Structure 1
């Protein structure tokens, strides 16, 4: 990854390109929601260690999809905070039915 991003707005189109395959996006979205549900379950019902499984679920799904489907290096290793923000944004857009329009807006 030769590009260096200085804002999330500049990173976001790159993030979308790195998730060009629909299967990659589906696995990412499933992992993101699984991670969020684990955190919520830990907060509301316990036990606390459920929250420790959240990154395993979220990043495990994401990294496997990058290796097996997209065949690229996850942006998490270079841009961990923006990558997490991208995961959350993509999951929200997918869930609300607006991801397709966002992909088209960025030429994907």
Structure 2
């Protein structure tokens, strides 16, 4: 998909196939999965402990693992740079799809 067409998404349903194509590398997807698990763990711990001071770790863990996957394994720029909302949603939809076995993890 060209940069021209990648900027013309009118819905998340149009964006998600592009998002998946940007995550074709298995290691990249696994790093996304690990990052998302860590985010959920951190959020759960914050709720349990009521320690808001560690909340800053959630985006560091989520984006950190994802960006390592893109820069070192997928060799592309994360979709979040051009499509932040759709990319955020895509992270969680892809996480769900990996969790239920729809996408290999």
Q: Normalising by structure 1, what TM-score? A: 0.86
Question: Which one of the candidate residues 53, 61, 64 is aligned to 1:49?
Answer: 53
* Separation in structure 1 between the aligned mates of residue 35 and residue 91 of structure 2, nearest angstrom: 9
Residue correspondence of structure 1 range 26-45 to structure 2 within 5 A: 26-45=30-49
Task: Extract unaligned runs of 5+ from structure 2.
Answer: none
List 4+ stretches of structure 1 deviating above 3 A.
none
Residue in 1 aligned with 2:82? 78
Give the Å deviation of 1:8.
0.4
- Secondary structure at the residue paired with 1:99? coil
> How many residues are matched?
100
RMSD of equivalent CA atoms: 1.1
* TM-score, reference length from structure 2: 0.89
Please list every run of 5 or more consecutive structure 1 residues that lacks an aligned counterpart in the other structure: 101-108
* Residues in 1 aligned to 2:63 and 2:83: alpha-carbon distance in whole angstroms: 14
